Structure 1
Amino acid sequence: MVLHAARRVALFLLVWAAAGRAAASRDEYDGPLLNGNFEDTPDRSQMDGLKVLGPDAIPYWKTTGFVEYVERGAKQGDMALTVPEGAHAVRLGIQSSIEQQLSVTPGRHYAITFSAARTCTQADERLNVSILPDGVAAGELPIQTIYSHNGWDSYAWAFKAKHGLVTLVIHHADDKVEDPACGPIVDNISIKTLNPPHITHDNFLRNGGFEEGPYINPGSESWGVLLPPTNEDPISPLPGWSIMSYSKAVKYISSEHSRVPHANGTRAVELVAGLEAALVQEVDIIPGRSYKLEFTVGDAANGCVAPMSVMVATAHGSQSVTHNSTGTGGCTRGRVDFTAEVNHTRVVFYSSGYHTTSDGTGTLCGPVIDDVSLVFVHPHARRLFR
């Protein structure tokens, strides 16, 4: 009896420990992954200097390849390594990865947010994000351009779950440098369940106020979260919208630390890549009907001082709207009227210029888009909705 009781206790502890290694089963996520900021430290017996020795050394994570556990103040030669938040992060050497198991709901959309900093200026550092066994891969996230002045940026990437239990993998794909430790630092990994909005009687565009989007880590509020181009992430972390670009991104910002034009909203999009990235949504329309497209162009109160012009394009032409920014958070309302000639159109926004903040740091900035709506200019538009 004692032996059987001991076995039952041992089995319970084993199951309990295994459950602790995976995220809790729930439909709604909105925050950091377990040990997503890496402040729960590995045992020193599992370390050789900065190098992580065992695949399970970092609590709640599994590592593969040459992975280092970096503390704030650590150096690579004479260069101090950047830790985006807190005191610790991980550094992914060549062909290395970190992974964590997640419990999700099949068919639902999720956004992953994480921060990354480059450490090897001569290396072609490339981060891939994937979900297994779904086979959902992001390709290569564009981390070559640094958008902020502090040496790191936050990125978002989204997926649609096919299975209830999946594994998030962040992989450093570069293998062309001799130093096996050379690679990006990763920190602040979070997840949010996305609830894609639908069109309404008042707006043919989905998520026109940009309120539905990825989790923004508190430590990155001042800089926002970069949204990758659609060719890198076919499931957009900004529901309803796609980012069209070869390698650049747009920035998702919060009213907690940036100025958002819409008075009743808390989120907006800053076009920080000039002509190289566009915000796009496809929408169904009815030929012969008249439409009104309205939107707000402003600045994030981040010292982006310049006349900032936004090009707005549909299948029926394009128009430029200029906001004369003083860098303190003003805004300008724009409007485009057209009569539909086809049954669908793309609504496209992009900045017609390149801008940096006036503080001399070289931080990329640009016009902020918010409160976008497309409606009939017709008294009986509501009849089209059921």
Structure 2
Amino acid sequence: MARLLLWHLLALCLLFTGSTLALTFGEGFLENGNFEQKPKPGAISKTVLKGSYALPGWVINGLVEYISGGPQPGGMYFNVAHGVHAVRLGNEASISQKITVKPGSLYALTFGASRTCAQDEVLRVSAGTQSGDLPLQTLYSSNGGDTYAWGFRPTTAVVEVKFHNPGVQEDPACGPLIDAVAIKELFPPKPTRVNLVKNPGFEEGPHRLVNSSNGVLLPPKQEDLNSPLPGWMIESLKAVKFIDKQHFNVPFGLAAVELVAGRESAIAQILRTVPNKVYTLTFTVGDAKNGCHGSMMVEAFAAKETFKVPFNSRAMGESKTVSFKFTAISARTRITFYSSFYHSRVDDYGSLCGPVLDEVRVYS
């Protein structure tokens, strides 16, 4: 009897350990992803890193500076939102690291990034053969704490993750500031019989940096295949913000999206539909309880129909659910959402904000 009880306890331990590993696998900082492991004294001159391996965990190329947050020589001030230290990429400079991944799986990199000099700064992110350029001219939060997510799907078991400044400024040290890099393996959800929308509540999304309270920006022009928000496309000129329940008011579940840049901040999905069939579209709009207030409007598009949903935000975390009908005109129907107006926080006019979108459903 005692031996049987011992086997049961061992099985429970293995089951618990296995489930824990399954939940945490493929998520967290890259090696020295928060840059808090300092370079050795001989590998840095003032702020400039010396040698390809001066920064622990990373390979550097070109003029890369190791920055401490706060006032800088020359009167500048760099805010490091996710810790104490960061790196700044000069003209054509880069940092890279090789990581082990599952070929064919979907991953999202989450990283803090902001411009330091010119408005036209661009950060080029790549993983293996895939790359994308992130424009940094728009500051979504006034304190420099913008956090981005970028998705990729590797074709090999080992890929090189690289952050590169492709720009050439008059000051060779000018360039993007990166203060944290994390990764998460994503599991693309599928539609169900009761809802044609994939990832309807935005529960599956990128890693949320622990000490980040600004949400995660999903860059513009993210296609469906490698989107850091599975199932959804960011097909606009500006980013959409992925927000979590820990730091914002979320109508349902643990996550939602905030449409932070008016008509330039659109999110879309293509559904499988039956032509001439009538469908019902329901979704919830609200405010994130982050100081975003005023008269809001969310516009939704499905097939040839347009729906406008007014919402008066008192910045108290309120929300409402609406329902509309549309007729499919083909085997593929695109649903799109954006905010009609531009908004900023009542306590910080330099921080863009907007209505929250959550729990999108389409059913016949």
Asked whether the two chains share a fold, i.e. TM above 0.5, the reply is yes
Find the residue that maps to 1:77 and give its secondary structure: coil
Q: Partners of 2:320 and 2:224 in 1: how far apart?
A: 31
- Structure 1: any 5+ residue segments left out of the alignment? 1-25, 377-386
Shift of 1:233: 8.8
1:292 corresponds to which residue?
280
Aligned residue type for 1:130: S
Contact 2:236 2:267 in 1 (8 A): no
Pick from 340, 357, 372: which aligns with 2:345? 357
Aligned ranges 1:36-115 → 2 under 5 Å: 36-115=33-112
* Contact persistence 2:224–2:231 (CA under 8 A): no
Provide the secondary structure at the position in 2 that maps to 1:45.
Answer: helix
- Output the CA distance in 1 between the equivalents of 2:292 and 2:82: 25
Deviation at 1:232, TM superposition (A): 8.1
Where do 1:249-288 residues align within 5 Å? 249-262=239-252, 265-288=253-276
**Secondary structure of 1:275's partner?**
helix
One of 119, 124, 129 as aligned partner of 2:120: 124
Indicate the residue corresponding to 2:220 in structure 1. Answer: 229
User: 1:227 is matched by which residue type in structure 2?
Assistant: L
Tell me how far 1:244 sits from its aligned partner.
Answer: 1.1
Tell me, yes or no, if structure 1 residue 141 matches structure 2 residue 138: no
Tell me whether 96-105 or 334-343 shows the greater mean CA deviation.
334-343
Contact 2:303/2:327 (CA < 8 Å) preserved in 1? no
Distance 1:233 1:146, change over 3 A: farther
Q: Is the 8 A contact 2:142 2:348 kept in 1?
A: no
User: So what's the TM-score if we normalise by structure 1?
Assistant: 0.86
Match of 1:328 in 2: 316
Contact 1:27 1:105 survives alignment (8 Å): no
Query: Letter of the aligned partner of 1:125 in structure 2?
Result: E
* Separation of aligned partners in 2, 1:210 and 1:125: 30
Could you say which residue in structure 2 is the equivalent of 1:155?
148
Deviation digits for residues 119-148 of structure 1 (CA, Å, limit 9, x no counterpart): 11x35211000112xx1011x202110001
Which whole-Å CA distance do the structure 2 matches of 1:355 and 1:190 have between them?
A: 29
Amino acid at match of 2:78: L
Normalised by the length of structure 2, the TM-score is 0.91
Which of 190, 194, 201 matches 1:209? 201
Partner amino acid, structure 2, of 1:223: N
CA gap of 1:324–1:123, structure 2 versus 1, over 3 A, is: closer
Deviations 1:209-263 (A, max 9, x none): 100010010222x2101001225896110000001113x100000000100011x
Instruction: Report what 1:4 is aligned to.
Output: none
State the partner residue of 2:184: 192
What residue number does 2:18 align with? none
Q: Deviations over 1:4-49 (max 9, x none)?
A: xxxxxxxxxxxxxxxxxxxxxx993121111100001110100111
What are the equivalent positions in structure 2 for 1:297-316 lying under 5 Å apart? Answer: 297-316=285-304
**Pair 336,241 (structure 1): closer, same or farther in 2 beyond 3 Å:** same
Helix, strand or coil at the partner of 2:143: coil
Pair 1:305–1:123, CA change in 2 (3 A): closer
| Counterpart in the other structure of 2:7 | none
Matched residue SS, 2:211: helix
Specify the alignment match of 2:13 in structure 1: none
8 Å CA contact 1:240, 1:281 repeated in 2: yes
CA–CA distance in structure 1, aligned partners of residues 235 and 141 of structure 2: 21
Partner SS state of residue 163, structure 1: coil
Counterpart Cα distance in 2 of 1:124 and 1:362? 18
Deviating beyond 3 angstroms after TM superposition, the runs of 4 or more aligned structure 1 residues are 231-234
CA contact (8 A) 2:257 2:357 kept: yes
Q: Structure 2: which amino acid aligns with 1:359?
A: D
Percent identity of paired positions between Structure 1 and Structure 2 = 46
- Cα 1:323–1:286, aligned 2, differ >3 Å: closer, same or farther? same
Q: Which runs of 5+ in 2 are unaligned?
A: 1-22
**How far apart, in 2, do the equivalents of 1:232 and 1:337 lie?**
27
Residue 7 of structure 1 is matched in structure 2 by none
Aligned residues: 342
Letter in 2 for 1:346: R
Q: 3-state SS of the aligned residue for 2:42? A: helix
- Superimposed CA distance per residue, residues 127-176 of structure 1 (whole angstroms, 9 cap, x where no aligned partner): 000112xx1011x202110001212300000000100011000001111x
> Hey, what's the Cα distance between the residues in 2 that align with 1:65 and 1:351?
41
SS in 1 for 2:135: coil
Contact 1:113–1:190 (CA under 8 A) maintained in structure 2: yes
Work out the CA distance in 2 between the residues paired with 1:260 and 1:75: 38
Q: What value does the CA root-mean-square deviation take over the aligned residues?
A: 1.6
